[in-house]
């Protein structure tokens, strides 16, 4: 009789341990699936952020190049201005000076508008 009780207890313990183990395995499997899904989402978000950063870096480099070109052109214009005698030229050809000044002013206004609209 004690043997039957002992065997019943052992069988119950084994069944309990098996049930506990299966529940634990199922819980871990579900948690693992959730973590994998979260990891995929984080990887996708990270890739989007990296491409956005790369795009911003490219735009910054483009802006720096454009700025360097503008600075070079401004320097060339200043050199040309220093080399010319505007007083004498304005007396000889006032309409030419007016056109140049108006065009330069319009270019500057267009550049300011372009910069401030970005």
Q: Binning pLDDT at 50, 70 and 90, where does residue 7 land?
A: confident
Q: Binning pLDDT at 50, 70 and 90, where does residue 118 land?
A: low
Report pLDDT for 34. Answer: 95
Chain segment 50-103, per-residue pLDDT in tens: 999 999 999 999 899 989 998 998 888 888 777 666 677 677 778 887 888 888
Report pLDDT for 6. Answer: 83
Cα–Cα distance list, 59 to 31, 54, 56, 65, 66 (Å): 42, 9, 5, 10, 10
Q: Assess whether pLDDT exceeds 90 at residue 30.
A: yes
**Which 3 state secondary structure label does DSSP give 33?**
helix
Report pLDDT for 84. Answer: 67
For residues 104-110, average pLDDT:
87
Q: Are 97 and 89 contacting, i.e. CB atoms less than 8 angstroms apart?
A: yes
Residue 117 DSSP label: T
For residues 102-107, average pLDDT:
88
- Tell me the pTM: 0.47
Quote the CA–CA distance of 109 and 115 in Å, as a whole number. 10
Quote the CA–CA distance of 8 and 2 in Å, as a whole number. 10
Question: 30 or 110: whose pLDDT is higher?
Answer: 30
Residue positions counted in the chain: 118
Report pLDDT for 21. Answer: 93
């Amino acid at each position: 009789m004690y043997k039957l009780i002992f065997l019943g207890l052992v069988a119950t313990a084994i069944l309990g341990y098996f049930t506990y183990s299966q529940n634990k395995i199922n819980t871990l499997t579900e948690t693992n699936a959730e973590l994998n899904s979260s990891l995929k989402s984080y990887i996708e978000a990270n890739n989007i952020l990296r491409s956005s950063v790369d795009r911003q870096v490219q735009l910054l480099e483009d802006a720096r190049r454009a700025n360097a070109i503008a600075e070079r052109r401004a320097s060339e214009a200043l050199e040309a201005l220093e080399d010319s005698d505007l007083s004498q030229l304005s007396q000889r050809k006032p309409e030419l000076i007016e056109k140049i000044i108006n065009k330069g002013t319009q270019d500057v206004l267009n550049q300011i508008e372009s910069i401030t609209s970005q």
